[in-house]
């Protein structure tokens, strides 16, 4: 993860030659703190929305959403996109991390199954009543 943060800063500082100098003022510690805030906020909001902590068993074949997966992964991914695009809003990205954490939990609770539908069982869907 630290290598990813270093690559993000290197790439964004290269872009500052063209007038995007916002990322230079943000330290790697601020970026790591924004990631941690996004993860914690997304998990807390997912618990508040009554998502389970873990998916149903067996974990390997479960397509259920939970507070641990995919909620914080979506939050970190969207926050990474904003950081690479050099948009951190205010307080070095902390406000943006909170907003993204809340929105990712809401997305997983209400829209995830519509965007990424669960696969059909081999037994369901093919049966024809005669």
Query: 45-82: per-residue pLDDT in tens?
Result: 999 999 998 887 776 767 788 899 899 999 999 999 99
Q: 72 is written with which tokens? A: 């914080």
Would the pTM of this model clear 0.85, i.e. be above it?
Answer: no
4-27 pLDDT tens trace = 666 666 665 554 444 444 555 678
Give the C-alpha separation, 117 to 102, whole Å.
22
In a domain, 100, yes or no: yes
Question: In total, how many domains does the chain have?
Answer: 1
42 neighbors 96 (Cβ within 8 angstroms): no
In a domain, 80, yes or no: yes
Residues with Cβ within 8 Å of residue 86, at least 6 apart in sequence: 12, 15, 20, 22, 23
10 neighbors 4 (Cβ within 8 angstroms): no
Of the pLDDT bands very low, low, confident and very high (cuts 50, 70, 90), residue 97 is very high
In a domain, 122, yes or no: no
In a domain, 31, yes or no: yes
- The range of the structural domain enclosing residue 78 comes to 2-114
In a domain, 104, yes or no: yes
């Amino acid at each position: 993860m630290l290598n990813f943060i270093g690559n993000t800063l290197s790439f964004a500082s290269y872009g500052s030659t063209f007038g995007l100098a916002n990322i230079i003022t943000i330290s790697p510690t601020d970026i790591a703190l924004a990631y941690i805030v996004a993860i914690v906020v997304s998990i807390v909001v997912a618990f508040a929305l009554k998502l389970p902590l873990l998916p149903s068993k067996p974990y390997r074949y479960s397509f259920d959403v939970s507070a641990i997966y995919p909620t914080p992964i979506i939050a970190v991914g969207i926050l990474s996109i904003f950081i690479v695009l050099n948009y951190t809003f205010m307080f070095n990205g902390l406000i943006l991390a909170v907003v993204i954490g809340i929105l990712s939990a809401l997305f997983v609770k209400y829209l995830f199954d519509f965007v990424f539908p669960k696969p059909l069982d081999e037994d369901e869907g093919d049966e024809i009543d005669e």
